Chain A
Amino acid sequence: AQSVTQLDSHVSVSEGTPVLLRCNYSSSYSPSLFWYVQHPNKGLQLLLKYTSAATLVKGINGFEAEFKKSETSFHLTKPSAHMSDAAEYFCVVSDLVDTNAGKSTFGDGTTLTVKP
């Protein structure tokens, strides 16, 4: 069984300051981990993914995430927030067995607010 917990439902930062969105997961097998972003009334867009290659993953728009197996974490970071980063972010886990079975487990989402 797999699960994912996004530790903050809301995060507020000032423009130009760092962003940290936290995600912890549990998985029985080697997981694939994803971060998706959703702007209002839009579909979800892939930011980045970890699929058992490099543990530090770089994504679009300056975001990156580090897979830490010992801490079962996959936190999303960005050095400097931009107003356009305001959105909802979802952490998703899918292990090998569940990927083949078409299953993904979503976190509850984190709403990021960026203040001018």
Chain B
Amino acid sequence: KAGVTQTPRYLIKTRGQQVTLSCSPISGHRSVSWYQQTPGQGLQFLFEYFSETQRNKGNFPGRFSGRQFSNSRSEMNVSTLELGDSALYLCASSKSGTGSTGELFFGEGSRLTVL
């Protein structure tokens, strides 16, 4: 069974640009969560999508957005990039719903550097 795939793995952008990151969950998983990880702030929850709807949201500005497609693949977008957006962005998928244990399956992450 293929794991969670995140693309691209590494990218460099400049301030003011925007970026789109992609996440393909494990087959059959309908929930996709996104996290930002930085040395200063640690692991922070961005948002979670389930059946194409944003179900949970963390405390991030509106520059951070996401969406989920009918095949459960998800994208997140960051507009007007700031230096502080440099981070490892992690995606996790889970079954969710009845019978789920809550176990999360993580991708390898997308390392974003903003210059």
When C-beta atoms are compared, the residue in chain B nearest to A43 turns out to be B106
Q: How far does the alpha carbon of A36 sit from the alpha carbon of B6 in the complex, in Å?
A: 19
Contact across chains for B101 and A43 when beta carbons are under 8 A apart: no
Q: Is A94 an interface residue (CB 8 A)?
A: yes
A106 touches B45 (CB 8 A): yes
Answer yes or no: A103 CB below 8 A from chain B CBs.
Answer: yes
Q: How far is the CA of A74 from the CA of B51 in the complex (A)?
A: 32
Closest-by-CB residue of A relative to B101 is A51
Does chain B have a CB within 8 A of A28? no
- Chain B residue numbers with a CB within 8 Å of A51 are 101
CB neighbours of A36 from chain B (8 A): 104, 106
Q: Count the A residues whose beta carbon is within 8 Å of the partner chain — how many?
A: 24
A78: B residues at CB distance < 8 A: none
Q: Is A66 close to B, CB under 8 A?
A: no
B95 and chain A: residue at smallest CB distance: A99
| In the bound complex, CA of A43 to CA of B11 (Å) | 17
B50 contact from A42, A43, A102, Cβ within 8 A: A102
Residue A90, interface by CB 8 Å: yes
A43→B33 contact, CB < 8 A: no
CA distance A52 to B111 in the complex (A): 36
- Does A46 have its Cβ within 8 Å of any Cβ on chain B? yes
Interchain CB contact under 8 A, B55 and A44: no
Contact A108 B42 (CB under 8 A): yes
- A102 engages B31 (CB within 8 Å): yes
Chain B 70-106, CB-CB to A under 8 Å as 1, else 0, gives 0000000000000000001010101011101111111
A100 touches B98 (CB 8 A): yes
> At the interface, yes or no: B109 with Cβ under 8 Å from chain A?
yes
B residues within 8 A CB of A102? 31, 33, 48, 50, 55-56, 94, 96
B110 to chain A minimum Cβ distance, whole angstroms, is 10
Q: Give the residues in chain B near A103, CB-CB below 8 Å.
A: 48, 56
- Contact A43 B56, beta carbon cutoff 8 Å: no
A101 interface hit (Cβ, 8 Å): yes
Residues of B within 8 Å of A44, CB to CB, are: 90, 92, 104, 106
Q: Give residues in B with beta carbon < 8 Å to A.
A: 4, 6, 31, 33, 42-43, 45, 48, 50, 55-56, 88, 90, 92, 94, 96-98, 100-109, 111
